[in-house]
Structure 1
Amino acid sequence: MRLFVMMSLGFVLGVLPVQGGLFGDAEQYVDVEEGERGFGSLFSGMAESSEAQWAWAQEKLAKKQWRSAGKVLRGLYMRWPNSVEAPAAVVAHADALMRRKEWRSAFTIYQFAVDNYANRLTDYDAVLAGQYRAAQEVMEARRLPFLFGGYRTPEMAIPLFEAVILNGPQWEGAPEALMMVGRCNQDSDAFEEAIVAYAELMLRYPEHALAESAAWGRIACLRSLREKYPSSPKILERILTATTVYLSRFPASERRGEIILLRNELYEFQARELFEQGRFYERVARNEVAALRTYVSVLELYPKSEVVSEVQGEMERLAAKGVVLSAEEAAE
């Protein structure tokens, strides 16, 4: 009997999806024509037109009533999505959320503006700038700040910065957004992903002021990878390549001296590695000819290395034992 009464009341009021409210929590879709006021709007404070709704929103914004202004603005572009005021209402809603420091929600509403009103936005660059700032705030935000100051999760901002780049590849702030993708990945120890972002920035914006910072970021990530995999010859070669590119593109850089010191360190490391290989041939493998050939390679490849005197001493000792290279071996 109770169910019959409630369903009857639903039909009387014109609210057909009563069953959803009775038997489930799913939100029911009600098809409302643009500008039409349903039963619920009698209590929502919706204005009679988009113009009136916009004026109402402006009053609330002027009073800095950001939360209620956001509700009025959302009501405008949801009820009158094709109105003249709708694009500005979406942006104003996002701006109001920024005022309330609801960075993720603001980013989402800005994206709604891009997805639905890209050709009708009066200041598209301002929307991208808003998204960029929201992404920065997400990147710098600290989780659980009451526990030892909290912790950052910069990786959460990566898809936001990537969306900014996708929305405005020619926007003047796109290089900064791409740089942030690299930094967020680097701060999250995702070094290979950071290297890709930095390399892309150097490729797409070679004349930008951030190109040098990206080149340095690439080297820094490779150095971090070398700390993790100190015996990897591939990573060492990648560092040498990256530093060569850096010096050739930015010869007057303030970091030039540091880059040269790094290359010298790698030079000595490679020389020492090859020297130790020769010792292995001599003392473990008992192959003195292979050892002598390796020592010769050290002198040829790393003539300025600090290990040269040690290499020469080993070669003299082998020569005293009668170990020599044939003409063919010496020519190899």
Structure 2
Amino acid sequence: PPPPFNILKALIRHQNLFFQFAFRLDAATLTDLYAIDKEFHFRYNQYCLGLTYRHANYWAPVATHIFTPSFFPQLCITDPMRRPLDGRPHLARDVPSLRWAQLVIFRSNIVREILTLLAIEGHRVPKEAEAVLLKLWMLMELRSERTRLVYLEDRAIWSDEDLLVANLLLVKLDMRFADPVNGKGICELSCMLFTQKSLTSLLRVLRGWLLTRRGQDYDELRAMLKRTYFDDDLELDNAPWMDDEEDPRNEVREEEWGNLHSEGWSWDGEFMADALELLVEECVSRQLHVHRYLLDFVLYGAVDEGTGENYPRVRWRG
């Protein structure tokens, strides 16, 4: 008797449906199928470059063009089919791996959730904010001040509109943190969170997973402060033990103090300005006069520009 019909094998062996099937799989399912099915593994390897890009672009169309593989050579692999680089048969090209696609999709989901949480609290932002926040994440990840400056000064990446939207985002975050009812701190909190290596800390604050009254969260915040700022930038009069490495309450080693403001995030690196400071300097350099738009930033998404009336309050289900 003929073998029973296997829909998975039929999709893998189909000349056209295989591609539509492969890049529409979510990241976890694609990785699992690539690992356990030999036939899928072989066919994916044949078209790994195109399929990996299509997969990332399908789930994260904005982030794919910002977190390009050239920024993450450690997430690239040798072409499984050993296709040559520039016609040199002895040297195989590098292609982005599934780990790169997972990184892109993960960061896109983080940024979308951040913007969603802001919108739920009434702080709406323009649609361009997703791309701008992703670019800010890329800026935060660069370990050299010179590299950050080159990245910011590239007008093909950062247009004047992008810089203005970035300032609007900062205003909305400051309004969220300084909210008298639902706020999680003060306006300076956004500066510290944008000095970290990623935006996951910002998401945790907006979710309410950090800066609560639990003791372990306070310890984590204290460690974050020590890694972000030098002692001269902190007010230690009420907590002198934070300047004592041998104090058991101080979990951060001395060589890690202020690392996020040091070149290469290293204890012996030169001072490195944080991402927001460089962003403000670039706005001044381009003569954008951001201060003229501050009131517009505050009112954006809350007041109709044509009538001057407040937008009706959104009633969330549930």
TM over 0.5: no
Give the TM-score range, shorter chain: 0.3 to 0.5
Q: Could you state the TM-score of these two structures normalised by the residue count of structure 1?
A: 0.31
Q: Could you state the TM-score of these two structures normalised by the residue count of structure 2?
A: 0.32
Q: Who wins on radius of gyration, i.e. which is larger?
A: 1
Q: Which has the higher helix share?
A: 1
Q: Which has the higher contact order (CA 8 A, sep 6+)?
A: 2
